[in-house]
Amino acid sequence: MQHPQHMIIFVVMVLSAAITAFYMLRLVYLTFAGDPRDKEKYEHAHESPWVMTVPLSVLAVFSVGTIWWGWFEHLVAKPELASFASGFAGAAETHEAAHGAASAHLMALGLSILAAGLGILLATVTYYWKKISAEAWGRRLKAVYKLLWNKYYFDELYGATVIKGTLLTSRIASAFDLSVIDGIVNGTAKATAGFSFAEGWFDLRIVDGLVNLVGRIVEFFSSRLREIQTGKVQSYILIALAGVVLLFIVQLF
């Protein structure tokens, strides 16, 4: 054997065939063999409606026919190991490769049938003939039974790692979003509102205040100067004389 370490794959597959045959026969015996555990449910049991029975019957016919008649395998080209070796070796090596492939197929077939048969036999002895007590072995191998019953605690491990990790990540992301992201957004909004209020106050009180003050001053003096503009010549002459007198007094002192 060129790669003996690859035998572990074959051993695992053979054991899988034995375990599959065992638990499938266990399922059949616990479901259809022996006395019913619940008489009331057993008495009210009935056949499924035709919408469920017909598809299952069609699938059963094709499942059995595919294996029993062997017609499906003729539709698919089945490669031979010898064909892969022919391009790299001579005729003698090709024959040896074909012989080795045939021997490997026969060994795999025989061991698979043997493993499946042992699984079926063990399930029959345990759950149909009741020669072996599954409950007693469960008590003897309590740790193994508990491990298998809890499915290797995969659900608990998954919940403690993936689910709780996801929830923790979600809570952290939510807290970061509420505290940091929303804090920045809300802080920016408050700062903008405060700046807008200050800008509005400055515009109303200072800018508009100065403009309005200049307007009031202009309005005040214009209203006073308007009183001088009477349109009477005598008033203008009197004002001019008063101005001359005022200039004379200033010049004199």
Tens-digit pLDDT profile for residues 159-194: 999 999 999 999 999 999 999 999 899 999 999 999
Express as a percent the part of the chain with pLDDT over 90. Answer: 36
Is the CB of residue 25 less than 8 Å from the CB of residue 123? yes
CA distance 141 to 128: 21
What is the pLDDT at residue 125? 94
- Confidence at residue 89, expressed as pLDDT on a 0 to 100 scale: 47
Mean pLDDT, to the nearest integer, of 4-16? 86
pLDDT per residue over 45-104, tens digit each?
888 899 999 999 998 888 776 666 666 566 655 555 545 444 444 444 555 555 556 677
pLDDT at 92: 47
Question: Which is more confident, 39 or 228?
Answer: 39
Of 81 and 156, the one with more pLDDT: 156
Residue pair 82/100 in contact (Cβ under 8 Å)? The answer is no
Q: Where are the domains of the chain?
A: 4-138, 157-252
What's the pLDDT at 154?
Answer: 93
Give the chain's end-to-end CA distance (angstroms, integer): 139
Residue 171 exposure: Cα atoms within 13 Å on the Cβ side: 5
List of residues 6+ apart from 210 with CB closer than 8 A: none
| Assessment of whether the complete model's pTM goes beyond 0.95 | no
Task: Say which amino acid occupies 182.
Answer: D
DSSP state, residue 49: P
Model confidence at 44, in pLDDT bands (50, 70, 90)? confident
Query: Using an 8 Å Cβ cutoff, are 81 and 98 in contact?
Result: yes
